[in-house]
Amino acid sequence: MEKENLIKITALLVHVAKVDEIYSEKERGIIKSFIMSFSYNDKDSESILQDAEKLESDSVQLFNFTSTVKQESLEVKTEIIEHLWKIIISDQSVDQYESNLMRRICGLIYFPDKLSGDIKLKLLNI
């Protein structure tokens, strides 16, 4: 995956992590492992994460991030959705706003809501 696209997608993960106003080290670690899954080393993944955090803090619209995701394959979208759910579930709580945000993201990237729900259930049952 191109670095610029990965930064935009990572910014979406950061946005979801910050939605509950608590951006934990655990969430940051989940995001970093997502970046590293695209064959980036620790130093590069940290740089990408910092760029994504800056991009997310400068942006006010989800569309800026989801338009990049929308162009990816179902396989990549599935990995993104799985990591988004991991971030949300990492604090052992899924509130109504987080669930609504995930439905909005799925709609914007043309990802099946049922598949998102299946991923969520799988992660909750691990």
pLDDT tens for 49-102 read 999 999 999 988 888 889 999 999 999 999 999 999 999 999 888 888 899 999
Centre a 10 Å sphere on the Cβ of residue 15 and count the other Cβ atoms it contains: 24
Q: According to the model, what pLDDT value does residue 123 have?
A: 95
The 10s digit of each residue's pLDDT in 1-44 is 899 999 999 999 999 999 888 899 999 999 999 999 998 898 99
Number of domains in the chain: 1
- What was the pLDDT predicted at 57? 94
Q: Which domain holds residue 38?
A: 3-124
The domain that holds 75 is classified in CATH as 1.10.3680.10
Q: Tell me the residue type at 78.
A: T
17, 27 contact by CB (below 8 A): yes
**What pTM was computed for the model?**
0.91
